[in-house]
Structure 1
Amino acid sequence: MRDLAVHLLRWQAAGIEYALATLTGVDGSAPRPIGATMAVDSAGSVHGSLSGGCVEAAVYELCIEVLETGVPVRKSFGYSDSDAFAVGLTCGGEVEVFVHRVTAAEFAVVEAALEVGTPVAWVRDLESGAVLAVRAGGAIGAGFDVDAADLAVVRQTQHMLDAGSSGVRVIGCADRERTVFVQSFAPPPRMIVFGATDFAIALCAVGRLLGYHVTVCDARRTFLDRTRFPAAHEVVVDWPHRYLGKTEVDGRTVICVLAHDPKFDIPVLAQALRLPVAYVGAMGSRRADRERRGELRVAGITEQQLRQLRSPIGLELGGRTPEETALAIGAEIVALRRGGAALPLSMTERPIHARQFYP
């Protein structure tokens, strides 16, 4: 939705109401991600795209209908493989779209959701069309009681914002149950690489390709020449454990320890394994891993915490070069993040594209 900010804010400044059509679910393949938005104003002007092909035409007509009636609509569009290419679904399947009208009473909520520089989640009730903008410190809504009855929605959304996740959720119970679509606008997740090695150079490139904000840190200034790490967003000269202790991490952060030197590895791993991060991996042989785990136990790390350590780091792809090793590490991170089995697709039976209508 933020890619339409210029148009939406212009309409709002002119007092023009409009309809927003949002992709809330994909089953199969589609060229646009969940959260993709198309906007149509009362004069019929359109901005944004959901998929291309005849989906756009059908959704446009739905937007015109919602603008006239004010009644929000949640609708699925399904296609077979034979006609999928005509509508932008490369392998067939189904998309779910939610359309609601944005009135003048909701303009302030939309402006809050479009605010750049502050993590914010944009929430829509999929039945009433009520809207909510949630930040870490509070919320502003139209159709939501953010101080009392809908506090559960605010809290759940704040948790999703912290994790940078989006999707459909059913929150509450009985007469206070709401089905909402939460779209988080959060900074890119972080990848922190410790150890200025050739493997780190390659991993920075893989991390950037996967959409991470990549930081490489090493205490040895000689090896941390900025020109060696063109793919890193930042390089930091500091002791790994000291830097980790003062930098910001969250539930999406991945930490990769590649120094292969106990005086660096043990202190930073002892710290990392106590943090609520998504992934902690360390490079080394199986023998080095056994010795490292023993030292971490001495440092007070519990068996449960040790089970979170991915060491030796990466999937077993058989690679040897820094680039092949970085690919194996990136593949393990993706598998963990997306719930993949890390097996050849030819050996599995489940759908290639997991269903994204989040329950």
Structure 2
Amino acid sequence: MVAACCFGTVTPARQFSKHGFRTVGRMLDQAAEICRRLDAGQRVVAATVVRVEGSAPRAVGSSFVVGSDGTVAGSVSGGCVEADLVERCRGVLDGAPAHVTSYGVGDDLGEPGLTCGGTITVLVHEVSALTDGALHQVRRAAEGLDACLALDAHGRACTDDPAVVLRTPVAHPLLVVGAGEHAVALTRLAATCGFAVTVLDQRPLFATKERFVDAYAVVRDWPDRWLAAHPLTAEHAVVVLTHDARVDVPALTAALASPARYVGAMGSRATHARRVEALRAAGVGADALARLRSPIGLDLGGTTPQELALSVLAEVVTARNGATGLPLSTTTGPLHRR
């Protein structure tokens, strides 16, 4: 097995396969960048994290790419590790074989390594040398579609006994009710963080794709009517930003009756109190009301739409991960949940 405290150590392919470092992670997170370079006629070598032990900055599937034009993109850790990987990627561009290397913590001054105490195993391989079928999967990933790429320890696409299987990350569904400026800011930030955002508003003037270019979908309909026809799952987060009881009370009644993981609504404490009374009158029970997060967001002290978006999305992510939302400096235990 790869030593836990090694720096830039090349592991032979047969050893990598022999010890079965089969792992499943995200599709190359630089898929769009890889495709851009391929379309420009470049060769591209990627350094892809295929195993993480202990604490590390990036997860399995994170990648760092070097093009034949000499430029780089992406990240697997930062610092001297990536400086070492640049040279390894250039070596593959110059004809060296694909290989596996590990970085951990040790005492040798000047050696590339991690400072967070963990170990990452990285596969250095030429993406542009993949088969057409494998490259098709990379292009699907770049387009945000379902994709799966199985690689052996030489970085070649395979079907039997893969060393690593990379898949597209599952987009987290987020329903934003109300198409005002706060919704524009939230949609932009949430899409950047991997959410598939559906914006829902009955007003044609506001619910336009031109205003919500980052949204997965923009729906012009009354929110409660749309929700009645589109059942939510436990993976959904619902954020109600209408600030209009005629719209948000029926929408929240439907959302709170669903298994959605997160349901929140914008408004002051006084607005929240009036809204709760209206929801009770609509037949929403105490257990459902206890799920409603309002006033919405974490206490960041911001006032702009962008700052509110950050506050709300932070609360959504906290709820999704079952985290505390506390400053990490006040907590104990691992920083990265695997």
Give the structure, 1 or 2, with the largest relative contact order (CA under 8 Å, sep 6 or more). 2
- Deviation sequence 1:137-169 (CA, Å, 0-9, x none): xxxxx424xxxxxxxxxxxxxxxxxxxxxxxxx
Confirm or deny that 1:122 pairs with 2:148. yes
Of 124, 141, 159, which aligns to 1:143?
159
Partners of 2:163 and 2:248 lie apart in 1 by: 45
Partners of 1:340 and 1:267 lie apart in 2 by: 30
- Deviation sequence 1:256-291 (CA, Å, 0-9, x none): 112344432233234334556553212343534643
Report 1:170-319 matches (<5 A): 180-184=164-168, 189=172, 191-196=174-179, 200-210=180-190, 211=192, 212=195, 216-220=199-203, 224=206, 233=215, 236-245=219-228, 253-273=236-256, 277-284=260-267, 285=269, 287-288=273-274, 290-291=276-277, 294-295=280-281, 298=283, 303=287, 308-317=291-300
Confirm or deny that 1:96 pairs with 2:121. yes
- The answer for the alignment partner of 1:163 in structure 2 is none
- CA gap 1:232/1:114 in 2 versus in 1, 3 angstroms: closer
Kept in 2: contact 1:19–1:99 (CA 8 A): yes
- The answer for the alignment partner of 1:164 in structure 2 is none
- Deviation sequence 1:212-258 (CA, Å, 0-9, x none): 56554333567x38799688757654311234456797776532112
Kept in 1: contact 2:239–2:263 (CA 8 A): yes
Offset of residue 343 of structure 1: 1.0
- CA gap 1:220/1:183 in 2 versus in 1, 3 angstroms: closer
- Deviation sequence 1:149-201 (CA, Å, 0-9, x none): xxxxxxxxxxxxxxxxxxxxxxxxxxx9x774433066x655432235xxx52
Structure 2 gaps of 5+ residues are: 1-27
Kept in 2: contact 1:203–1:330 (CA 8 A): no
Root-mean-square deviation over aligned CA pairs: 5.1
Of 327, 333, 337, which aligns to 1:350?
333
Q: Provide TM-score, normalisation by structure 2.
A: 0.60
Structure 1 gaps of 5+ residues are: 132-141, 145-175
Offset of residue 342 of structure 1: 0.9
Partners of 1:62 and 1:239 lie apart in 2 by: 56
Identical amino acids, percent of aligned pairs: 30
Of 47, 51, 64, which aligns to 1:21?
47
Kept in 2: contact 1:4–1:48 (CA 8 A): no
Partners of 2:108 and 2:296 lie apart in 1 by: 42
Kept in 2: contact 1:193–1:257 (CA 8 A): yes
Write the letter of the residue equivalent to 1:143: T
Write the letter of the residue equivalent to 2:34: L
Partners of 1:9 and 1:232 lie apart in 2 by: 24
Kept in 2: contact 1:19–1:101 (CA 8 A): yes
Write the letter of the residue equivalent to 1:36: S
